[in-house]
Amino acid sequence: MPEHHTDTADPLRFVATDGPVIGSLCTGVAGLDLGVAAVLGGRIAWYSEVDPHAAAILSARLPGVPNLGDLRAVDFTSVAPVEVLTAGFPCQDISAAGRRAGIEKGARSGLWHTILDAIRVLRPSLVVVENVAALRWKNGGLDRVLAGLAEAGYDAVWRCVRAADIGAAHRRERVFLCAVPAPGRDADDADPAGPRRRTPRPGRPGTAARGRASGQPQRRG
């Protein structure tokens, strides 16, 4: 296991090591993807960022790594395959600080459906998703995320982790979800030319688990 992924001369610059090929969607200025790389090693093959300021930081931290731009316009059948896909999709329509439009109606958090389309095509061996703790609240959308992954042929486990759990001086609770191909559904089983989204999607609104302590793992599939 690698000890670090930074350049000693420039600690903010990512250094690739042996390990899986990682694709990064909606992870801001390299956070979730670098965290995954710190554990698994590997290299980031590409990322998707539309904000010009964040893109400038990513260009410096990930020199030579292509930016796919707006992922809604990306043809993922032509994107380099990856073994791990990270996605910290927008939380504005999920967060308690917003209007709680949710994944189905929210223009920003609804980007999850595009990420799910990418998963169906890329078929990574591991998907790592991050979002705010409100994702697991009633109508937060966790049920939609789990149902979409199940439909795509993935089993998932999730856990809430607070920043304070790892020594930070604030709570900042987040949901982290890991998904792998379900038994009998290898990562290469899907037909990329097949339907990339089905409507209606399975799952019942408001079925996200409630009443469990923070940090207790949950499982779908």
Q: What is the DSSP string of 82-128?
A: -SEEEE----TTTSTTS---HHHH-TTGGGHHHHHHHHHHH--SEEE
Number of domains in the chain: 1
Supply φ then ψ for residue 62, to 5 degrees.
-125, 65
- For residue 189, the model assigns a pLDDT of 54
- Looking at the DSSP bridge assignments, the partners of residue 159 are 176
User: Residues 47-84: pLDDT tens digits?
Assistant: 998 888 988 988 888 899 999 998 889 999 999 999 99
User: Using CA atoms, how far apart are residues 149 and 124, in angstroms rounded to an integer?
Assistant: 12
Q: Is residue 171 part of a domain?
A: yes
Q: Is residue 6 part of a domain?
A: no
Kindly report each contact of residues 191-196 with a partner whose C-beta sits within 8 Å and lies 24 or more positions away, as own/partner.
Answer: 192/77, 192/120, 192/121, 192/123, 193/77, 194/120, 196/117, 196/120, 196/121
| Residue 134's CATH number | 3.40.50.150
Query: Residue 23: is its pLDDT beyond 80?
Result: yes
Q: Is 106 exposed, middle or buried (0-12, 13-18, 19+ CB in 10 A)?
A: buried
Closest to 175 (Cα-Cα) out of 125, 214, 124:
214
Task: Pick the more confident residue, 139 or 178.
Answer: 178
Query: Residue 95: is its pLDDT beyond 80?
Result: no
Tell me the pLDDT of the chain averaged across its residues. 75
Residues 44/20, Cβ–Cβ less than 8 Å? no
Task: Pick the more confident residue, 139 or 74.
Answer: 74
**How many other C-beta atoms are found inside a 10 Å radius of the C-beta of residue 168?**
10
- For residue 168, the model assigns a pLDDT of 73
Alpha helices in the chain (DSSP H): 32-40, 52-61, 102-105, 112-122, 142-151
Q: Is residue 203 part of a domain?
A: no
> Residues 197, 198, 199, 203: is their CA dihedral positive or negative?
negative
- For residue 44, the model assigns a pLDDT of 94
- Catalytic annotation, residues: 91
Confidence of residue 214 (pLDDT cuts 50, 70, 90): very low
User: Residues 158-207: pLDDT tens digits?
Assistant: 888 877 777 778 777 788 999 999 987 655 554 444 444 333 344 433 33
Q: Is residue 220 part of a domain?
A: no
Which residues form the domain of 82? 21-98+107-181
Task: Pick the more confident residue, 124 or 33.
Answer: 124
Mean pLDDT, rounded, for 146-168: 86
Q: Is residue 190 part of a domain?
A: no
Q: Is residue 79 part of a domain?
A: yes
